[in-house]
């Protein structure tokens, strides 16, 4: 089955600087890669996603890049703010081609923004 590895497990960044979180996946059939943000005691919230027919996607301060050949994808947060502090999870699935396939999650990155 699919295996998703995520690094780093913790990341501290000065406010205003950029943060990068990296994930690798094992299943070459995976074609959907969402990123979720989970604040303490809250539900995971989708912040951005990318499909395998796209190499990069951006939404304001957040961007995701995908390298299908190397089987890795990354989350980039620019101009970080204190409210960006949370645990971030990457995930992978075979997506709609197989009918709402299960999500396989990474182990999470605890991001702390230092004021």
Tally the C-alpha atoms within 13 A of residue 98's C-alpha that lie toward its C-beta. 10
Report how far residue 25's alpha carbon sits from residue 30's, in angstroms, rounded to the nearest whole number: 8
Pick one of 21, 63, 85, 106: the residue that binds other proteins (CB under 8 A). Answer: 106
Query: In the stretch 51-80, what mask flags binding to other proteins with x, by CB under 8 A?
Result: x-----------------------------
- Is there binding between residue 43 and other proteins (CB under 8 A)? yes
Report how far residue 22's alpha carbon sits from residue 20's, in angstroms, rounded to the nearest whole number: 7
Pick one of 25, 35, 73, 105: the residue that binds other proteins (CB under 8 A). Answer: 105
């Amino acid at each position: 089955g699919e295996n998703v590895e995520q690094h780093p497990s913790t990341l501290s960044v000065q406010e205003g600087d950029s943060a990068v979180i990296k994930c690798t996946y094992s299943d070459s059939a995976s074609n959907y890669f969402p990123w979720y943000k989970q604040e303490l005691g809250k539900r995971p919230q989708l912040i951005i996603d990318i499909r395998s027919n796209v190499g990069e996607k951006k939404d304001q301060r957040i961007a995701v890049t995908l390298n299908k050949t190397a089987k890795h994808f990354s989350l980039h947060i620019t101009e970080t703010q204190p409210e960006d502090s949370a645990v971030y999870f990457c995930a992978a699935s075979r997506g709609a081609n197989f009918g709402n396939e299960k999500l396989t999650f990474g182990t999470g990155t605890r991001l702390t923004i230092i004021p």
